[in-house]
Amino acid sequence: MSGSIALTIDGREISVPRGTTIFDAARMHGIPIPTLCHQQHQTPVGVCRVCVVDVGARVYAAACIRECEPGMKVKTDTPPVIQARNTLVELLMADHPSPCARQQQSGDCELESLAKSAGIAEPRYARRLSPRGRDDSSLSIAVDHEACILCDRCIRGCDEVKKNDVIGRTGRGYTAGVGFDLNVPMGSSTCVSCGECMVSCPTGALTNKRIVGTELGDGDPPEPEWILQLPVFKGVSGTFLELNKGALVKRHFAPGDVICREGEFGSTAYYILEGSVEVFIATPIGHVKQEDAQAGWFSRIRSRLADRQEHTRDEEAARRWIPIDASTDLPYDKPVAELGAGELFGEMTCMSFHPRSATVRAKTPVVVLEMLRNVLDVMQKNKTFRAELDRKYRQRALETHLRSVPVFASMPADFVAYLRDRVELIRYSPGEAIVRQGDPADAFYLVRLGFVKVTERRPGGDIVLTYLGRGSYFGEMGLLGGGLRTATCTALDHVDVVRIAGEDFNLMLSRFPAIRASLEEVARERSEMNRQRVRATEQVPIGEFLTQGLMEAQSLLLLDLEKCTRCDQCVRACADAHDGVTRLVREGLRFDKYLVATSCRQCRDPLCMVGCPVGAIRRRNSLEIIIEDWCIGCGLCTRNCPYGNLNLHPFDVEVPDPAKPSRMIATTRKKATGCDLCMEHAEPSCVYACPHDAAHRVEPLTFFGTMLAAKDQGRTGNTAATSK
């Protein structure tokens, strides 16, 4: 069997080892044969057929896969062979979005290069009419199915070279394409973002998604070879890292150096290579409290910061943990934690551009990798890293995370230990549904990272019931109730959840009746709230009311324009009640004879709650928006509020000097505030202050209900009259 084989290629007599393909034999002897689907390091598949040669048989043979045979007479460049080859290129070009992304990026689309050398300018065949689509879901790789020629190079790169087994062919015939897992978007597949498919692709079907213009300038950009040594980057394509140079830097910090500050905006995450850091909240923990001031005319009321030792709000009594953007929570009473080598922080900031949730300071000499989101994506999808992160989470954070939910605070340690290996840690991409209304309820979810939008399907469209952030949970209603999901929960951004299977959840309920009771209470409250909201939308289908967003409101400050003299007493009263910062602006939309003043409407879709990095803004059961004690004053909610009704309220406080923690310094810290309805008092200050009885705080549906109904009836009456 061994030995060599003699054959001729293009008239040249050559000899090659047995088992050599025609393609390799030709290459070894300097005879180039073009190809699209073949790469030296991959198993040949012979699907593009561009490498066909005439071996004197009935049909041509694909040189990449056909082995040389003794005495074979191979012709690689006869006019009919070249003509057949060019037809194949022309066929592919007819469906190719020229210039494709690769051609635009680097000018090296292999198909377009072949077409150019074959002199195919404008393909004569009709173009493809049915779109094949693009997939923008991965953070690091752009997928353009339009440019795919089904050469299977990515498939072999993924499944054979890297053994990641994510990519395969899907569909059949002309509609066939490449698909990830069960043909889901790449970003929601099990893709580890190693980049092998992208470096294997001959066209612009899979290209590198470079984050344009945001290179991390300073710091020390490590070489791909060095990066690849790190276990968390195992299996990533070196070429891919080379392309993303500048999106990852190595940084050194001395003890005491601040790595990032709470409230700052950013776009990077940090991975600790060496040393340990302290994570803490530097803003004083406390909420704004109004007090009657005895002295002075103007300041009837003054605001100050009060923590729960001196002023407890009932829901907070059981609160022991503050959620932050790291794999740990901070204890409420001493909000400091330590992270060490192998840990990651700043994911939310990096993936979803939320403000930093805490300040991080080097405790020992520290080396970190700071990265942009395409690199973070690569790392997070790395199996080694993922496994390690999950292990750490189960070991350390799951317990505090569970206990951060007041309902579970009392759960015994042995049950937490039982859950430790049984829970699933799942990641969702923006827009992905986690549970769907009407589906069987089979699990309970804790939000670990990101925000979940809860919507209910109603005739005429979905309505947003709430947003859930870190530390929240969902899925209990379906499990406690009829076994079907009562709402749809969708990932609003990059969301990590802890999934507790239905059987474990039920076991927990049966073992701990107290937890069951609290959960049932919460479920009952939630369902009552949902019912109210839904009823509200059903009752008043009035266009104008809706377009003004008044529908969204639970409570409005109305100024009766027929009575109002524009004296501004209300505004002054509000400012007086809140340390000179008014939470009321006497401007706004008009509805009927009322001016809807700009003050918190206690919206039904509380956009202000989306993105709070520490989960400090929420609503009480009374629907009043409440800012938790650990607000870090980043101001995101004030920007998110579409009605401009949340403000940052500055306070002079003494805090430890970040540069020298033992020393206290005076500084200004901010806390978000909104209209609190002057809850401390019998009536809101603005309403109290109006000398003309023009200001009213009302629940819009009740207030406008009669008016709208009357209008509606009038309209019906008119119609009836005309039709006579």
Partner 1 sequence: MHVRASTSPIFDELRAIQRTHGYLPEPELRLLADRVNLPLHRLQSVASFYPHFFLKPPARAEVRVCGDMACHRHGGNALREHLAARFQGQDVNVQHVSCLGRCDVAPALAVNDHIFERVTANDAVSLVDAALAGASREQLAARRVPPARSPIQCDPYAPDARYGVLRSYVQSKDWVGLIAALKASGLRGLGGAGFPTGMKWELVRNQPGPDKFIVCNADESEPGTIKDRHILTNAPHLVVEGMILGGLVAGARRGIVYIRHEYPDQEHIVQEEIDRCYHEGILGSRVMGSDLAFDLEIFVSPGLYICGEESALLEAMEGKRAEPRNKPPFPGQQGLWQKPTVINNVETFFFVPVILARGLEWLKGVGRGGSAGVKFVGVSGDVQSPGVFEVPMGTPYRELIEQLAGGVAAGRTFKAFAPSGPAGGYLPASMADVPLDWNAMTQAGATVGSGAIVVCDDRACMLDMALNSVRFFRNESCGKCVPCRVGSHKLTDMLAEWTRGRQAAADIALYDDLSHAMRQTSICGLGQVVPVPIASVLKHFRDEVDAHARGVCPAGVCRVSA
Among 13, 40, 121, 182, binds partner 1 (CB under 8 A): 182
Which residue's CB is nearer to partner 1, number 190 or number 532?
Answer: 190
**Pairing state of beta strands 73-74 and 4-9?**
parallel
Beta bridge mates, 668? 652
Shortest spacing between CB 138 and partner 1, in angstroms: 16
Please give the helix or strand (H or E) that residue 208 lies within, else none. strand 206-208
Rounded (5°) CA angle 586-588-589: 145
Q: Given the rule CB under 8 A, which of 88-96, 328-336, 524-532, 679-687 is the region that contacts partner 1?
A: 88-96
Q: Are 646 and 634 in contact (CB under 8 A)?
A: no
Which residue's CB is nearer to partner 1, number 10 or number 568?
Answer: 10
Shortest spacing between CB 20 and partner 1, in angstroms: 15
- Residue 197 in contact with partner 1, rule: CB under 8 A: no
- Residue 174 in contact with partner 1, rule: CB under 8 A: yes
- Residue 425 in contact with partner 1, rule: CB under 8 A: no
Place of tokens 């989306």: 610
Shortest spacing between CB 60 and partner 1, in angstroms: 5
- Residue 432 in contact with partner 1, rule: CB under 8 A: no
Q: Given the rule CB under 8 A, which of 83-91, 282-290, 484-492, 696-704 is the region that contacts partner 1?
A: 83-91
Residues 128-167 interacting with partner 1 (rule: CB under 8 A): 149-150, 159, 165-167
Q: How far apart are CA 499 and CA 480, in angstroms?
A: 16
Shortest spacing between CB 664 and partner 1, in angstroms: 56
Q: How far apart are CA 401 and CA 419, in angstroms?
A: 12
Which residue's CB is nearer to partner 1, number 84 or number 507?
Answer: 84
Among 20, 38, 66, 598, binds partner 1 (CB under 8 A): 66
- Residue 95 in contact with partner 1, rule: CB under 8 A: yes
**Strands of 12-17's sheet, edge to edge?**
12-17, 4-9, 73-74
Nearest to 232 by CA among 428, 429, 387, 425: 387
Environment class of 2 (CB within 10 Å of its CB; exposed 0-12, middle 13-18, buried 19+)? exposed
**Pairing state of beta strands 269-274 and 258-260?**
unpaired
- Residue 185 in contact with partner 1, rule: CB under 8 A: no
Q: Is residue 544 helix, strand or coil?
A: helix
Q: Are 494 and 611 in contact (CB under 8 A)?
A: no
- Residue 87 in contact with partner 1, rule: CB under 8 A: yes
- Residue 183 in contact with partner 1, rule: CB under 8 A: yes
What is the torsion angle, in degrees rounded to the nearest 10, for the CA atoms of residue 188, residue 192, residue 193 and residue 196? -130
- Residue 169 in contact with partner 1, rule: CB under 8 A: yes
Shortest spacing between CB 107 and partner 1, in angstroms: 23
Q: How far apart are CA 593 and CA 502, in angstroms?
A: 53
Which residue's CB is nearer to partner 1, number 130 or number 723?
Answer: 130
Among 23, 180, 332, 474, binds partner 1 (CB under 8 A): 180
Residues 107-126 interacting with partner 1 (rule: CB under 8 A): 124-126
Q: Where are the beta strands (DSSP E) in 429-560?
A: 433-435, 443-449, 452-458, 461-468, 473-474, 488-491, 495-501, 556-560
Count residues contacting partner 1 (CB under 8 A)?
Answer: 47
Q: Given the rule CB under 8 A, which of 92-100, 113-121, 579-587, 611-619 is the region that contacts partner 1?
A: 92-100
Establish whether the linkage from the previous residue to 99 is cis, with ω within 30° of 0.
yes
- Residue 92 in contact with partner 1, rule: CB under 8 A: yes
The residues, any chain, with a CB within 8 Å of residue 616's CB and separated by 6 or more, are 627, 628, 629, 630, 631, 632, 672
What is the torsion angle, in degrees rounded to the nearest 10, for the CA atoms of residue 194, residue 199, residue 203 and residue 206? 10
- Residue 469 in contact with partner 1, rule: CB under 8 A: no
Q: Given the rule CB under 8 A, which of 89-97, 308-316, 366-374, 424-432 is the region that contacts partner 1?
A: 89-97
- Residue 298 in contact with partner 1, rule: CB under 8 A: no
- Residue 94 in contact with partner 1, rule: CB under 8 A: yes
Write the interaction track for partner 1 spanning residues 26-65; mark x where CB under 8 A is met and - where it is not: -------------------xxxxxx-x------xx-x--x
Nearest to 388 by CA among 227, 271, 470: 271
- Residue 501 in contact with partner 1, rule: CB under 8 A: no
Rounded (5°) CA angle 706-624-587: 65
Helices and strands, number each (H, E), in the chain: 21, 38
Which residue's CB is nearer to partner 1, number 63 or number 371?
Answer: 63
Chain residues that interact with partner 1, rule: CB under 8 A: 45-50, 52, 59-60, 62, 65-67, 80, 83-85, 87-88, 91-92, 94-95, 124-126, 149-150, 159, 165-176, 179-183, 190
